[in-house]
Amino acid sequence: MTTSKLKQTMAEIVRMPKMSDTMTEGVVAKWLKKVGDSIKPGDVVAEIETDKATMEFESYQEGVLLYQGVSEGKAAPVDSVLAVLGKAGEEYQSLLDAEAAKAVVKAPVAQPAAPAAAAPAPKPAPVSTPAPAPAPQPARPVAPVAASSNGDQRMKVSPLAKRLANERGIDLSQVQGSGEHGRIVKRDIDWFKPGSFVASGAAAVGALTQESFEEIAVSQMRKTIARRLGESKFTAPHFYLTISIDMDAAISARESINAVTGSKVSFNDFVIKAAAAALRQHPKVNSSWLGDTIRINHHVNIGVAVAVEEGLLVPVVRFADSKTLRQINTEVKAYAQRAKEKKLQPADWEGSTFTISNLGMFGIEEFTAIINPPDACILAVGGISQVPVVKNGAVVPGNVMKVTLSCDHRVVDGATGSDFLRTFKGLMENPVVLLGQASI
pLDDT for res 201: 44
Strand partners, 296: 287
pLDDT for res 161: 84
Angle at 299 between CA 295 and CA 304, to 5 degrees: 95
What is residue 272's three-state secondary structure? helix
Strand partners, 247: none
Going by C-alpha positions, the residue among 302, 321, 427, 268 that lies closest to residue 377 is 302
pLDDT at 171 over 90: no
pLDDT tens, position by position, 65-111: 989 989 888 888 888 999 999 888 888 888 888 888 887 766 554 44
pLDDT for res 138: 44
pLDDT tens, position by position, 380-433: 999 999 999 888 889 999 999 999 999 999 999 999 999 999 999 999 999 988
Q: What is the DSSP string of 380-394?
A: EEEEEEEEEEEETTE
Residue 94 to residue 71: CA distance in whole angstroms: 21
pLDDT for res 359: 94
Better pLDDT: 297 or 338: 297
Catalytic site includes residue 409: yes
Residue 49 to residue 57: CA distance in whole angstroms: 10
Given 181, 238, 299, 409, the catalytic residue: 409
pLDDT at 175 over 50: yes
Decide if 155 contacts 177 (C-beta within 8 A).
yes
Going by C-alpha positions, the residue among 269, 240, 239, 243 that lies closest to residue 403 is 243
pLDDT for res 106: 63
pLDDT for res 195: 63
Please give the C-alpha separations between residue 85 and each of 49, 96, 168, in angstroms, as whole numbers: 22, 12, 75
Reply yes or no: is the peptide bond before residue 374 cis, omega within 30 of 0.
Answer: yes
φ/ψ bin of 23: left (φ > 0), alpha (ψ from -120 to 50), beta (otherwise): beta
Predicted confidence band of residue 176 (pLDDT cuts 50, 70, 90): confident
pLDDT for res 174: 85
Distance of CA 209 to the CA centre of its chain: 32
pLDDT for res 392: 86
pLDDT at 112 over 60: no
pLDDT tens, position by position, 286-323: 999 998 999 999 999 999 999 887 778 899 999 999 99
For residues 351-375, give the mean pLDDT: 94
What is residue 329's three-state secondary structure? helix
Q: What is the pTM of this model?
A: 0.60
pLDDT for res 341: 83
φ/ψ bin of 59: left (φ > 0), alpha (ψ from -120 to 50), beta (otherwise): beta
pLDDT tens, position by position, 120-130: 444 444 444 44
pLDDT tens, position by position, 220-264: 778 888 888 888 989 999 999 999 999 999 999 999 999 988 888
Decide if 287 contacts 319 (C-beta within 8 A).
no
